[in-house]
Amino acid sequence: MSKVPILVSFAYMKNSLVEILNANKDRFEIILDSGAYTAFNTGRTISLDDYMAFLKDLPFPVEFYFTLDSIGNPATTESNLLKLYERGYKPVPVFTRGQVRKDFERYSRTGLVGIGGIAGTDDNMSYLSALYRDGIITDKDKVHWLGFWDRDYVLHFRPYSCDTQSWMSAARFGRAWIYENRKLVTFTRANCFTPAVKRFCDRYSIDVGELKQDRNWRWDKKDAGLSQIVQALTALEYVKMIREKIGTRIYLACSGNQSNLEIKILTDCFQYHIRSENGNA
């Protein structure tokens, strides 16, 4: 894997984050989200004019960017998309709840389609399954699942791409995971002394005993604990493996108030990952 695949959000775009992304543009494969999910959860308003102004002079290269959708409001989502088209922009359209088959078919003619309305919802799995079961999404369609990643669903449906913040679970929730023998192995500070965790740490010359220390499960907003480093290294290995085996691109979301630190973690871990592959960890 020559670059780290990440998703960043316009909702958290600050000058400092732009500077970091621009300085590391050769290390990242970047996609840009409009911030609709953030707006939905926080009551913030994302201005379409502001979004277009940012897109006009993108300060760093992106693989693609999404339209400004409005969760649960297909009329506004459609209106925003048409305005972007009228101004000459080429966003990835977002199919959101309340839209119907003909909307998806129209979007899919342009190529990639974002699937919204599945992040953080109780019925996201049943809703997504229904889209495939009812033939709205077919095997031939190129889709990106916005804010949703589930190992079994990814392996079964094999979307073109998706994004997830689960790679930050150690810092956020005190629960990390590694991948071994086709299984996700979850661990916490209380049960980190397992053969699987030790094998993973040994590959990177990490002292597994340090994971027992409370300080390595805390995030002080300036640095990440060792548990989060282990989690990030695991995520890098996993997204590389999934892309090589089934082609699905999993983007690691850096789309919160601590986006700068998340970018730094991935930058450092990517270099550590490369050194380990070369036997220099």
- For 153-207, the pLDDT digits (tens) are 999 999 999 999 999 999 889 999 998 888 889 999 999 999 999 999 998 889 9
What structural domains does the chain harbor? 4-164 (3.20.20.105)
Calculate mean pLDDT across residues 51-67: 94
- For residue range 88-144, list pLDDT tens digits in order: 999 999 999 999 999 999 999 999 999 998 987 889 999 999 999 999 999 999 999
- Residue 280 confidence (pLDDT) above 70: no
More confident residue, 161 or 257: 161
| Tokens linked to 184 | 């996700």
Give the single-character DSSP code of 147. T
Neighbour tally for 179: CB within 10 Å:
17
Read off the tokens for 123. Answer: 């019925």
Q: In 6-69, where does DSSP find H-type helix?
A: 15-23, 36-42, 48-56
Map tokens 């409370």 to a residue: 214
pTM attached to this predicted model: 0.93
Contact (Cβ atoms closer than 8 angstroms) between residue 169 and residue 176:
yes
Above 80 in pLDDT, residue 60?
yes
C-alpha dist (Å) from residue 119 to 37, 94, 96, 145, 150: 8, 13, 11, 9, 11
Q: Encode pLDDT of 24-44 as tens digits.
A: 888 999 999 998 777 766 667
